[in-house]
Amino acid sequence: MTAVHVPGAPLVEADQLVSTSPATGAEAGRLPVATDADVRQAVERARAAGEWWAGLGFAGRRARLLRWRALLAKRIEQLAELVHVEGGKPVADAIVEIVTAIEHIDWAARNAARVLGPRRVRSRLILAEFSGHLEYQPYGVVGVIGPWNYPVFTPIGSAAYALAAGNAVVLKPSEYTPATGQWLVDSFAEVVPEQPVFTAVHGLGDVGAALCRSGVAKVAFTGSTATARKVMAACAETLTPVLIEGGGKDAMIVDSDANLDAAAEACVWGGMTNAGQTCIGIERVYVVDPVFDAFVDKVVTRAGRLTVGPEGTDIGPITMPTQLDVIRRHIDAAIASGGRAVLGGPDAVQPPYVHPTVLVDVPEDSAAVREETFGPTLTINRVRDADEAVSRANALPYGLGGSVFGRRRAVAIARRMRSGMASINSSLTFAGMSTLPFGGVGDSGFGRIHGEDGLREFGRAKAVTRRRGRSLLPSMTFDRTPTDVARLVRVIKTMYGR
């Protein structure tokens, strides 16, 4: 019996990874599957290319990265169409994703020299005769492993910053979106034709595992928490440092003084854009009692208007066919444990689509509240006050982003959320602000992409001291005398002994 190929599921045929549209099954691309030897060779070639790239200096890299950014901007419609065909997301969502990626390339290119470049660091009295110098030097080759849900934004969130910092990058795109990954590296090669500075290797998870063991100097992983543990274990063998951008189960908190129309709009967008397949997507909502009913009504009205289908709709297909089972299981679990579907429900799952679903009064121990659903579903629960909302929001091992709607207490609530990021009176917006770091806590990972922290993530701090005069308090030498040591003791007591 021949197995039937499910549209969208990756298929390996004669050593080729065949990528297909989850909506129509149409072929989106065909890429050679890399062997372990291919991966090692790609990293070796990148190592030499990286030396050349680092040698260009910040100005040379900036000019080339800005040319790449311009190429992406010029071809935005072409890339958006590929992302749409390969992953299923609506073209408008793909455009927004690419715009965000372009913004990150621009910022990283323009700010790398300022953030990472050599600078003097002030000395202190004890070593006043030395000057301090600090710079962030590239690692060499960075392995970037990316997911399928934002196949442009997530690899570029790491790669643009790693490249701006002077590293070469070998990308392993998700097996669901290899053609998009290849498009990115091909476009880069058009503006940097001299050396293979940014390349891709394709295949299933084992190719990602091979990349972790290939001698790269750092791995930037974006994907599920379960795979993150495997990546860390593989990298531990060689003490290869890792950056983990893991999964999430982000909460929105709606306080009593919130603008409910704006909150409902941001909730539906944050929960259902890209069919809910967003790491920082809103999956759980906690609403204070006095505004609960009005808020739920507004969310249901808005979510009920969303259109679902292959072309020109608000919600496209679920990219990974296996995810449909997870979404169905979560909806069933919510209802079995006493929750109610006020929109959608079990019948909302119509492969490859899931229609908007809003679940209320779902017990906090339900899988629908605790596990990443990755579908256009929301749980909305009633809470007494903002304190209860915060403690429920913070009760999970995940801690990626979050959203708060309110006025008087909004900033305080956002600060108390156990997450790496939060948006006040909007949702997901922190992802597009290139000046802010992006990353999570707990099971959502560690390390940061974007912003100054995102640049430093891809540079090793190099500290240099330089003598500029004779030592007044000689201590780090065998030439010191007992008088020198006694003077040092007197000085330290005067300075710090109070």
What is the number of residues in the chain? 498
Nearer to ligand NDP by C-beta: 246 or 344? 246
Choose which of 102, 105, 145, 197 interacts with ligand NDP (CB under 6 A).
145
Would you say 356 or 437 has its CB closer to ligand NDP?
437
Residues 431-470, one symbol each (x = binds ligand NDP by CB under 6 A, - = not), give ---------x----x-------------------------
3-state secondary structure of 230: helix
Is 235 tagged catalytic? no
- Sheet of strand 357-360: strand arrangement: 340-343, 357-360, 377-383, 282-288, 250-254, 402-405, 423-424
Neighbours of 322 (CB within 10 A): 10
Chain centre distance of CA 405:
23
Q: Which of 22, 196, 208, 345 binds ligand NDP (CB under 6 A)?
A: 208
Is 103 a residue of the active site? no
CA dihedral sign, ordered 21, 24, 30, 36: positive
The answer to whether 368 and 359 have CB atoms below 8 angstroms apart is yes
Residue whose tokens read 């793909």: 94
**147 contacts ligand NDP (rule: CB under 6 A):** yes
Of 103, 175, 245, 452, which is the active-site residue? 245
Sign for the CA dihedral angle at 327, 182, 199, 39 comes to: positive
Name the one range near ligand NDP by CB under 6 A: 58-66, 84-92, 174-182, 490-498: 174-182
Backbone angles phi, psi at 169, to 5 degrees: -130, 130
Using CB under 6 A as the binding rule, whether residue 18 contacts ligand NDP is answered as no
Q: Which stretch binds ligand NDP (CB under 6 A): 45-53, 216-224, 286-294, 360-368?
A: 216-224
Which of residues 284 and 409 has its CB atom nearest to ligand NDP in the complex? 284
Site for ligand NDP in 348-377 (CB under 6 A): 372
Backbone angles phi, psi at 363, to 5 degrees: -55, 145
By CB under 6 A, tell whether 154 contacts ligand NDP. yes
Q: How far is CA 296 from CA 80, 304, 442, in A?
A: 33, 12, 30
Amino acid sitting at position 116: L
Catalytic residue among 279, 372, 452, 457: 279
247 binds ligand NDP (CB under 6 A): yes
Between 100 and 154, whose beta carbon lies closer to ligand NDP? 154
How far apart CA 362 and CA 433 sit, in angstroms, is: 33
Nearer to ligand NDP, 224 or 259 (CB): 224
State the DSSP string of 308-366: BSSSSSSB---SSTTHHHHHHHHHHHHHHTT-EEEE--GGGEETTEE--EEEES--TTS
C-alpha torsion 493→495→496→498, nearest 10 = 80
If one asks whether residue 423 binds ligand NDP (CB under 6 A), the answer comes out as no
Q: Does the footprint of ligand NDP cover residue 246 (CB under 6 A)?
A: yes
Pull the structure tokens for residue 402: 């979050």
Selected binder of ligand NDP within 167, 195, 214, 227 (CB under 6 A): 227
Determine what percent of the chain falls in helix, strand and coil, rounding each to the nearest 5: 45, 20, 35
- Least CB distance from residue 151 to ligand NDP, whole Å? 9
CB of 210 to ligand NDP, least distance (A): 8
Contact with ligand NDP (CB under 6 A) among 158, 174, 274, 377:
174
What is the residue type of 152? Answer: V
Provide the 8-state DSSP code for 438.
B
Task: Quote the least distance from Cβ 308 to ligand NDP, whole Å.
Answer: 21
Residue type at 140 in one-letter notation: G
> Does residue 213 touch ligand NDP according to CB under 6 A?
no
Q: Least distance from C-beta 57 to ligand NDP, angstroms?
A: 30
- Residue 325 has phi, psi (to 5 degrees) of -65, -40
Give the pairing of strands 282-288 and 377-383: parallel
Helix (H) or strand (E) holding 134: strand 130-138
User: Is-cis flag, bond preceding 178, omega within 30?
Assistant: no
Select from 8, 50, 248, 451 the one that contacts ligand NDP (CB under 6 A): 248
Per CB under 6 A, 90 contacts ligand NDP:
no
Residue numbers 266-295 binding ligand NDP by CB under 6 A: 279
Applying CB under 6 A, the site for ligand NDP has a residue count of 31
Asked if 427 contacts 267 with a C-beta cutoff of 8 angstroms, the reply is: yes
113 binds ligand NDP (CB under 6 A): no
Q: Which of these segments, 102-110, 135-143, 202-210, 345-353, binds ligand NDP (CB under 6 A)?
A: 202-210
Q: Is 19 in the site for ligand NDP (CB under 6 A)?
A: no
- Give the residue, chosen from 7, 25, 132, 205, that forms a contact with ligand NDP under the rule CB under 6 A: 205
Closest distance to ligand NDP from the beta carbon of 481 (Å): 57
Residue nearest to ligand NDP (CB): 208
User: Residue numbers of the site for ligand NDP (CB under 6 A)?
Assistant: 145-150, 154, 172, 174-176, 204-205, 208-209, 212, 222-224, 227, 230-231, 245-248, 279, 372, 400, 440, 445
The residues carrying an active-site annotation are 245, 279
